[in-house]
Structure 1
Amino acid sequence: MSDNKYEINIDPDWFKKYALRIVAGFLLLAALVTGVKTVGPEEEGVVIQLGKYNRTVQPGLNFIIPFGFESMYKIPVQRQLKQEFGFRTRSAGTQSEYAKSSFGDESMMLTGDLNLTDVEWVVQYRIVDSYRYLFRVRNAEKTLRDMSEAAMRKIVGDRTVNEVLTVGRQEVASAVEVLLQRMCDEYENGIRIDQVVLQDVNPPEPVKPSFNAVNEAQQERETLINQAEAEYNRVIPRARGEAEETIQLAEAYALNRVNRSKGEADRFNALFESYVKAPEVTKQRIYLETMERVLPKIGNKIIVDEKGNNVLPLLNIDKVKSNTP
């Protein structure tokens, strides 16, 4: 008689049957988990079979060989990506928060005139070729970051600190964008640069007050130059106009005097020719014309004969003159 009070009898066939079902279910679940992949609408899937590129699949539900024979990398080819240099965005929104304290090594660089400047910028890019992005360059994100920093340092190193801080900012951003895209095409990393934006450009903190003083002096200089040019544009054209007017008046006066002199000379010559031809008649005509000019300027007129016996006051001459239109 056995010492055990209770005995459990397990049917070997039943155990084998249910164990096989459990294993099959586990294998089916593992196949579904590792073989069914969902690719998002902004992505495309790159399928790797036994470590080698096999195919690229489009957004939607896709199937791959399970159990690690195939794997998939999802690449966001329709999304604009960005890399930040000199700062990091903690939270994006209406009032974005940025962290800058620990990224000075990225943004501090030397200009062409051997001055230090703190340049913060953003590179916006897209992945246009997922195969090249994965297989042409190892760690494409890190490589793009290194290329962006090298391109920015090269462009800034070719310019003065005043150009980088003020008027040359847009030119620097455009030059970096062109250079970075050329480097991406050369490395064949499947990336297209959309835009390079200079977020902020400042002198280093220890020398910022000196730079601000210089900028204020330059702005004041520009203001004074603009004021002087405005005064010049107000006064000089007016003076030139007055000078031209004076010259034209003088020329007109000279022309008038010359023409009058010529006319009087011609009149005298004509009168002299008439006098040579008929002296008595010419003297009589000159006398009458002179009296015609002189008499209207005299007040009361009295005409007497040579002896003064007969007096003939011409008292109505003024009245006739005033009534004459």
Structure 2
Amino acid sequence: MAEPNYQMQYYMYLLKKHFRKILLGLFVLILLLTSIKTVGPEEEGVVIHLGQYSRTVQPGLNFILPFGIEEMRKIPVERQLKQEFGFRTVEAGTSSQYSKENFGDESLMLTGDLNLANVEWVVQYRIVNSYDYLFKVRDAEKALRDMSEAAVRKVVGDRTVNEVLTVGRQEVASSVEVLLQRMCDEYENGIRIDQVVLQDVNPPEPVKPSFNAVNQAQQERETLINQAESEYNRIIPRARGEADETIQLAEAYSLKRVNVATGEAARFNSLFEEYVKAPEVTKKRIYLETMERLMPKVGNKIIVDERGNNVLPLLNLDQSKSDKK
């Protein structure tokens, strides 16, 4: 014959005796859990009453109607959020780790010159209106992803692959930011775009070696152009300076010759005027001036008369010069 389980019977007795108290405690616990809500310092609480918007509460301890009559959704309005495209952050930290597998559909897109580019980007945004974020657009996060992808594809599709890969990256990011903000304002989703960052832009893996070869050729071309311009800037100014110097010397020589010729012509004209006035006197004066200029250059001087009968050393100018010394 089995012995009665006195311990189990005792527990059943206690349960029957305190059933109302236990039930009341459970009721109070559920009441507190469903009516007391804590909103964080970076959040905003949106209270929904029977499926409709009721009010917005601020950070701190707040009370709502219990048992599902009201529910609260916490919106991080003071926090910067982000969406990643073409990759996902696996582990954030000092050395963050990323995964790019199975995200090619997001990042692979067609450029304006009918080439393919693998574009990875990040959209940083804030929720500035929690009511619009929850009620104006269904699933605002997914809608923002769709709008971001559409904006990037549109901007990239208006540019060549070289612009997207090299010099036009910042312009692409700025254009996407402006276009995406305009779309958010149009849809009234309560989101403000802080920044769009192109994380990485590369050609697709199958054609990457060809793109690298083209880029290397372009870089070599730019290097040769820079070297040629440097050589041009070194030689051409010097040649221009030498040409200017030659021109200035020629102009100076021309001016000198013209001035000399003008002076000689003026001198001849003045002599001619004097000659017209007194031909014999002028001839005599010219003869004497010429002799005065030539005689010092002659060595020994001998003066004879017209008939040549007598030879008379009149002056020994060299001897007179030596005597003076």
TM-score normalised to the size of structure 1?
A: 0.90
Show the counterpart of 1:190: 190
User: In the alignment, does 2:29 pair up with 1:29?
Assistant: yes
Find out whether 1:138 has 2:138 as its counterpart: yes
CA contact (8 A) 1:48 1:55 kept: yes
How far does residue 45 in structure 1 lie from its aligned partner after superposition? 0.5
Letter in 2 for 1:244: D
Distance (Å, rounded) in 1 between the aligned partners of 2:163 and 2:5: 97
1:315 to 302, 318, 324: 318
Q: Equivalences for 1:43-192 in 2 at 5 Å? A: 43-192=43-192
- 1:276 and 2:276 correspond: yes
Q: Distance in 2 between matches of 1:163 and 1:319?
A: 94
How many angstroms apart in 1 are the aligned matches of 2:5 and 2:250? 146
Q: CA RMSD in A?
A: 2.7
- CA distance change for structure 1 residues 205 and 320 in 2, over 3 Å: closer, same or farther? farther
Gaps of 5+ in 1: none
CA 1:107–1:9 in structure 2 vs 1: closer, same or farther (change >3 Å)?
Answer: closer
Correspondence for 2:227? 227
Instruction: Tell me, yes or no, if the aligned pair for 2:117 and 2:202 is still in contact at 8 Å.
Output: yes
CA distance in 2, matches of 1:5, 1:49: 51
Counterpart residue type for residue 130 of structure 1: S
- Cα deviation code 1:267-320 (max 9, x no counterpart): 01111111221223222322232233223334x444545322445322355459
Q: CA deviation at 1:161?
A: 1.0
Equivalent-residue separation in structure 1 for 2:90 and 2:218 (angstroms): 36
Question: 2 CA distance for matches of 1:293 and 1:243?
Answer: 42
| Aligned equivalents of 1:57, 1:253: Cα separation in 2 | 95
Deviation larger for 81-90 or 14-23: 14-23
Displacement, 1:247? 1.9
What whole-Å deviation, never above 9, does each CA across 1:236-279 have from its counterpart, x for those lacking one?
Answer: 22222222222222222122212211111110111111122122
CA–CA distance in structure 1, aligned partners of residues 320 and 77 of structure 2: 114
Q: Which runs of 5 or more structure 2 residues have no equivalent in the other structure?
A: none
Deviation by residue 1:126-149 (Cα, 9 ceiling, x = unmatched): 000000101111111111111111
Match of 2:217 in 1: 217
With normalisation by structure 2, the TM-score equals: 0.90
Report the CA distance shift for 1:319/1:41 in structure 2 as closer, same or farther (over 3 A).
Answer: farther
Q: Secondary structure at the match of 1:263?
A: helix
Identity %: 74
Give the CA deviation at 1:212: 0.3
Q: Confirm or deny: 8 A CA contact 1:303 1:314 kept in the other structure.
A: no
Residues 55 and 302 (structure 1), Cα distance of their counterparts in 2 relative to 1, 3 Å cut? same
Q: 2 CA distance for matches of 1:116 and 1:75?
A: 38
CA–CA distance in structure 1, aligned partners of residues 181 and 80 of structure 2: 15
* CA contact 2:302–2:312 (8 Å) conserved in 1: no
Q: Aligned residues, how many? A: 318
With over 3 angstroms needed to count, the CA separation of the structure-2 counterparts of 1:297 and 1:61, relative to structure 1, is farther
1:9, distance to aligned residue in structure 2 (A): 10
Give the CA deviation at 1:90.
Answer: 1.1
1:183-218 deviations in whole A, cap 9, x for unaligned?
111111100111111001000101100000000111
Choose 307-316 or 138-147, whichever is displaced more.
307-316
Deviates more, 1:209-218 or 1:151-160: 151-160
Query: Which letter does structure 2 place at the counterpart of 1:313?
Result: N
Distance 1:251 1:5, change over 3 A: closer
Structure 2 counterpart SS, 1:167:
coil
